[in-house]
């Protein structure tokens, strides 16, 4: 088992365990630092969804930066147990972990309920298009979707690419909703 460190906010330098699990690829320190430089160092009051949470690195970074609510979705029971243990250890009262398939969960989540949805599905599963389609209704006008993928992706209708970058084989994108979401 490995570990990663939270890089900013109230839990800066706190360690998160990273169990050995097929397809688990925690977002690197460099990419997380870039993302949170783009977003701003504080996310006070934001509602954040970390779908395909895995190690929880993205969600814990958001919570560490004062997000008002962070929801982590993970279907692997071993990873869910690890996420719940980290939430308890850090006394992360604004975080909730759900043991669920992220695509199924997002399809039943309230529309326009999140300020930021973070998508980092397992690369081998090729869920990027389905995950993006499921996430789009979850953010309101001006809301953001962060996506990691093995290739560059185009912004879907109603969204624009706010920022994008690449670190090795990982392409990362920050998309902003431009239109009014359908009711």
pLDDT in tens, 74-124: 999 999 999 999 999 999 999 999 999 999 999 999 898 999 999 999 888
* 29 Cβ contact list (under 8 Å, min separation 6): 4, 5, 7
* 126 Cβ contact list (under 8 Å, min separation 6): none
CB 35 within 8 A of CB 172: yes
Opening angle at CA 64, ends 59 and 70, nearest 5: 40
CB 95 within 8 A of CB 63: yes
**3-class DSSP state for residue 24?**
coil
Taking the complete model, does pTM exceed 0.85, yes or no? Answer: yes
**Is beta strand 170-177 parallel, antiparallel or unpaired with respect to 159-167?**
antiparallel
* Per-residue pLDDT of the chain in tens (183 residues, 90 and over written 9): 789 999 999 999 999 988 888 778 888 889 999 999 999 889 999 999 999 999 999 999 999 999 999 999 999 999 999 999 999 999 999 999 999 999 999 999 989 899 999 999 988 888 999 999 999 999 988 999 999 999 999 999 999 999 999 999 999 999 999 965 444
End-to-end CA distance of the chain: 45
| 16, 32, 35, 156 from 41: Cα distances, Å | 20, 11, 10, 27
Distance CA 94, CA 125 (A): 30
């Amino acid at each position: 088992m490995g570990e990663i460190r939270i890089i900013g906010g109230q839990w800066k330098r706190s360690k998160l365990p990273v169990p050995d699990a097929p397809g688990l690829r925690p977002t690197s320190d460099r990419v997380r630092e870039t993302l949170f430089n783009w977003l701003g160092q504080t996310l006070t009051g934001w509602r954040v969804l970390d779908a395909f949470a895995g190690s929880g690195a993205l969600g814990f970074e958001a919570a560490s930066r004062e997000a008002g609510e962070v929801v982590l979705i993970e279907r692997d029971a071993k990873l869910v147990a690890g996420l719940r243990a980290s939430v308890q250890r850090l006394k992360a009262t604004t975080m909730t972990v759900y043991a669920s398939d992220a695509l199924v969960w997002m399809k039943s989540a309230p529309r326009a309920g999140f300020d930021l949805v973070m998508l980092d599905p397992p690369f081998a599963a090729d869920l990027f298009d389905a995950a993006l389609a499921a996430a789009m209704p979850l953010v309101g006008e001006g809301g953001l979707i962060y996506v990691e993928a093995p290739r560059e992706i185009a912004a879907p209708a109603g969204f624009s690419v706010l920022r994008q970058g690449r670190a090795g084989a990982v392409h990362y994108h920050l998309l902003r909703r431009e239109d009014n979401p359908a009711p």
